C-alpha cells in the first residue's frame, strides 16, 4: 500500500467496528452540534464547565481504549513497539477530546432539556409514595 486511500480506510473501519462505527459517528455529530449550540447561545466558553467536562472525559478516554481492545480482539500486552504505544495514546486522546466536547454540551444543555423536568417529577413521585 503506497498511499493512504480514504475509501480503503473507511472500509477497514467499517469491517472492524461494524455498528459501533455508526453509533460513534452519530454520537460525535450530536456532541458537536450540542457544543456549537451551547457556545453560540452563551457566546463564550464556561471555564468551570470545561474543567468538569475534561475531568469526567478521562473515563471516555479509558472507554475508547476498552473499545479499541474489544474491536481489535487484542490486549495492551500485545503492543510491541513504539508505534503501537503511540497509537494507544492517540486513541486515548481522541476519546478524551471527544468526551470533553460531548460532556461540555451535555452539561450546557442540561438546564433546557425537557427530560430534566420529567426526571424531577419521577423523583418527587417516588418520594411521595414512601
Q: What's the grid cell of residue 3?
A: 498511499
For residue 28, pLDDT beyond 80: yes
- For residue 25, the enclosing domain spans 6-129
CB within 8 A of 56, min separation 6: which ones? 99, 103
User: Is 61 a member of any domain?
Assistant: yes
User: Is 14 a member of any domain?
Assistant: yes
Name the more confident of 26 and 123.
26
User: Is 1 a member of any domain?
Assistant: no
User: Is 34 a member of any domain?
Assistant: yes
Q: What's the grid cell of residue 91?
A: 486513541
Q: What are phi and psi of 5, to 5 degrees?
A: -100, 120
User: Is 19 a member of any domain?
Assistant: yes
DSSP state of 78: G
User: Is 101 a member of any domain?
Assistant: yes
pLDDT per residue over 76-126, tens digit each? 677 778 888 888 899 999 999 999 999 999 999 887 777 767 767 777 766
Helix 19-42 and helix 82-109: axis angle, to 10°? 50
* Total number of domains constituting the chain: 1
pTM score, whole prediction = 0.75
pLDDT per residue over 29-85, tens digit each? 999 999 999 999 989 888 899 999 999 999 999 999 998 888 887 776 777 788 888
Amino acid at each position: 500500500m503506497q498511499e493512504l486511500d480514504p475509501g480503503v480506510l473507511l472500509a477497514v473501519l467499517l469491517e472492524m467496528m461494524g455498528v459501533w462505527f455508526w453509533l460513534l459517528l452519530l454520537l460525535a455529530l450530536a456532541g458537536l452540534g450540542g457544543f456549537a449550540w451551547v457556545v453560540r447561545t452563551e457566546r463564550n466558553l464556561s471555564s468551570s464547565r470545561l474543567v468538569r467536562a475534561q475531568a469526567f472525559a478521562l473515563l471516555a478516554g479509558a472507554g475508547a481504549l476498552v473499545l479499541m481492545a474489544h474491536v481489535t480482539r487484542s490486549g495492551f500486552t500485545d503492543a510491541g513497539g513504539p508505534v503501537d504505544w503511540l497509537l494507544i495514546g492517540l486513541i486515548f486522546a481522541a476519546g478524551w477530546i471527544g468526551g470533553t466536547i460531548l460532556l461540555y454540551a451535555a452539561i450546557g444543555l442540561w438546564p433546557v432539556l425537557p427530560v430534566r423536568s420529567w426526571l424531577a417529577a419521577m423523583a418527587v413521585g417516588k418520594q411521595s409514595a414512601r
